[in-house]
Amino acid sequence: MVSREVIVKSPTGLHARPATLLVKKASSFKSDLSIEFDGKKANIKSLIGVLSLGVTKNSTVKITASGDDESLAIEEIIKLINSLETL
C-alpha cells in the first residue's frame, strides 16, 4: 500500500469534468484506489464517491493505492490531478 498527498489546483476542484477524468484513469488500474478529504474517504473508481467529497480548489487530498500496480497507479493519478489546473 502506498499513499501520497497532493494539492488540487483545478479551478473547479474535483467536480464534473475533472472528477470524470479521474475516475476514468483510476478504472484503468487493477489496484484499489481511494481518495481522502476532510475526514471522508471514497473509492476513486466511483464518480458519485469522488463528487460526494466536495473537493475544492487548493484542497489537499490523500491518494492511497493498494494492489499489483499500486506504484504506477498512484504516480498516474497524482500526475493527472496536477495536470487538471489547466482545465
Q: Which active-site residues does the annotation give?
A: 15
- Yes or no: say if 64 and 36 are a contact pair by the CB < 8 Å rule: yes
Q: Which DSSP string corresponds to 20-53?
A: HHHHHHHTTSSSEEEEEETTEEEETT-HHHHHHT
Q: How far apart are CA 17 and CA 51, in angstroms?
A: 10
